[in-house]
């Protein structure tokens, strides 16, 4: 159970971070995202899987097009990037091997991923 002291100290720390920004520089140098479909920004568009979000209604409220996000708008990672003053973390798989990767972060999240080796295995095309 989370104690009220832990919640209070977290809230105070968050207020300190918010008040310490000067509005000109980002709060962090980069944002790297790991997770599943709740955070995926389009990595599954580049995988041979049936788990994709590249059709309507996905993305309708984001940029009026399908982005590969498993929502119709922003993900939690997008809101965190905005809060930190950073651009949205692009999907890692959207870059070719010789491309220069952005210094502001990357999104490694993928829908149907998990910590077990067999997670989502039956959903991959061969």
pTM (whole model) above 0.75: no
DSSP character string of 31-71: --B--STTT-BSGGGGSSBS----STTTTTTTTSS--SBSS
Residue 73 domain flag: yes
For the chain, what's the residue count?
126
pLDDT at 72: 87
Residue 85 domain flag: yes
Q: Look up the domain containing 60 and give its range.
A: 30-126
Confidence category of residue 125, pLDDT binned at 50, 70, 90: low
- Looking at the structure of the chain, the number of domains it has is 1
Q: How far is CA 68 from the centre of its chain?
A: 11
pLDDT in tens, 77-117: 999 999 999 999 999 999 998 899 999 999 999 888 777 77
Residue 20 domain flag: no
Q: Are 41 and 77 in contact (CB under 8 A)?
A: yes
Residue 46 domain flag: yes
Residue 19 domain flag: no
């Amino acid at each position: 159970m989370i104690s009220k002291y832990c919640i209070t100290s977290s809230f105070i720390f968050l207020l300190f971070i918010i008040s310490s920004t000067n509005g000109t520089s980002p709060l962090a140098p980069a944002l790297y995202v790991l997770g599943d479909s709740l955070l995926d920004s389009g990595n599954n568009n580049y995988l041979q899987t049936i788990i994709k979000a590249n059709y309507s209604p996905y993305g309708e409220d984001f940029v009026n097009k399908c982005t590969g996000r498993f929502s119709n708008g922003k993900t939690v990672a997008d809101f965190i990037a905005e809060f930190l003053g950073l651009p949205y973390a692009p999907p890692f798989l959207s870059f070719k091997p010789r491309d220069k990767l952005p210094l502001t972060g990357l999104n490694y999240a993928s829908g149907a991923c998990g910590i077990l080796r067999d997670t989502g295995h039956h959903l991959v095309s061969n």
